[in-house]
Homo-oligomer: A and B are copies of this chain.
Amino acid sequence: MRNFDEATITDAVLQRVRTAKDDRIRQVSEALVRHLHAFVREIEPTQAEWEAGIDFLTRTGQMCDDKRQEFILLSDTLGVSMLVDAINHRTPQGATETTVLGPFYVQRAPEHPLGADISGTMEGAPLLVTGTVSTADGKPLAGAVVDVWHSDNDGYYDVQQLDEIGELAMRARFRTDENGRFWFWSIRPAAYPIPHDGPVGKILEAQGRHPWRPAHVHFMIAAPGHQTLVTHVFAAGDRYLDSDVVFGVKDSLIREFASTPAGTAVDGRVMTQPYFHLNYDFGLKAETEARRTEERAA
């Protein structure tokens, strides 16, 4: 095989990648070649534009470290993350809707007892978060692991300022009690721009787009026999709900961060100042409903 031209190169590459032994690798490789070549054929890049593309991808990879995942930002801002999310969560049926993981999740965040204040040394308006974790048909799930993380008052996560604050904050794992309940204290998160000092930020600017996300709290909730839920709860009234840069907002995930006067909170804590209260009741899908994903992984 040689002498490839515009008419023959795509079939030549397809023929070459068909030698993959693994069915899935063959399927993904063929699809990648077809769609990537179709993209190139449509835009007809000059050599200089091709070089700019190579350079963009290289800089995007090199922007990544243990505090920054620029390729996830790229996937998020191109709507790919939400599309993958939608494909993998087709039948909510009473279960909580899902949204993107985002680039700020940390595996094995510290576990705290229910009711703990996880704001560390961060300053901001106090926020009480309460909720329940249940099956999709409403039966409480005791011992579910509730992983939470959110930004500070200025829109920055702990991992973005770890050198200054010294330890993880506004991030923890809890286990639901025997009634499937969880509660904790933190500070109210703010809307924030995704990190936009890198290649993805330049793209957003060139596309005439702002980099903002509405204020939200991230949740990843796991319970035996159930599909792990990855979602956010968004603050009602936020100005960016309709223009979230990563396309993540769903009405079912919006709640009031209710302004509450000083006094004894629902968990018994005596508050000498006003605070916000967010409540959300989560429903998890049974694993059998996630069969498609399991089959794929098998």
Interface, chain A (partner B; CB < 8 A): 1-6, 9-10, 12-13, 16-17, 19-22, 25-29, 31-33, 35-50, 54, 57-62, 64, 69, 71-72, 75, 78-88, 90, 101, 203, 206-209, 230, 241-244, 247, 249-251, 293, 296-297
Contact = CB atoms under 8 A, between A and B. Distances in A.
B16 A87 contact: no
Contacts of A3: 249-251
Given A31-B39, A36-B78, A62-B62, A247 B297 contact: no
Given A1-B243, A10-B83, 20 more contacts: A3-B249, A9-B83, A13-B79, A21-B208, A31-B42, A33-B78, A35-B39, A36-B78, A36-B80, A37-B79, A37-B80, A40-B83, A44-B87, A44-B296, A46-B88, A46-B296, A47-B84, A54-B75, A58-B69, A62-B64
Nearest to A243: B1
Contacts of A43: 27-28, 31
15 contacts: A1-B247, A6-B90, A13-B247, A22-B206, A25-B206, A35-B42, A36-B39, A36-B80, A37-B79, A38-B38, A41-B87, A44-B296, A45-B87, A46-B293, A47-B230
A97 to B, nearest CB: 9
Contacts of A37: 79-80, 83
Minimum-distance CB pairs A-B, first 10 = A61-B61, A19-B208, A13-B79, A35-B39, A2-B249, A6-B86, A20-B207, A50-B84, A31-B42, A17-B207
Nearest to A87: B44
A183 B54 CA distance: 33
Nearest to A1: B242
A72 B54 CA distance: 7
A89 to B, nearest CB: 9
A69 B49 CA distance: 16
**Identical copies of this chain, number:** 2
Given A78-B32, A80-B36, A6 B87 contact: yes
A25 B45 CA distance: 12
Contact of A81 (B50, B230, B242): B50
Given A9-B247, A47-B84, A32 B39 contact: yes
B6 A41 contact: no
A13 B78 contact: yes
A32 B79 CA distance: 11
Contacts of A54: 69, 71-72, 75
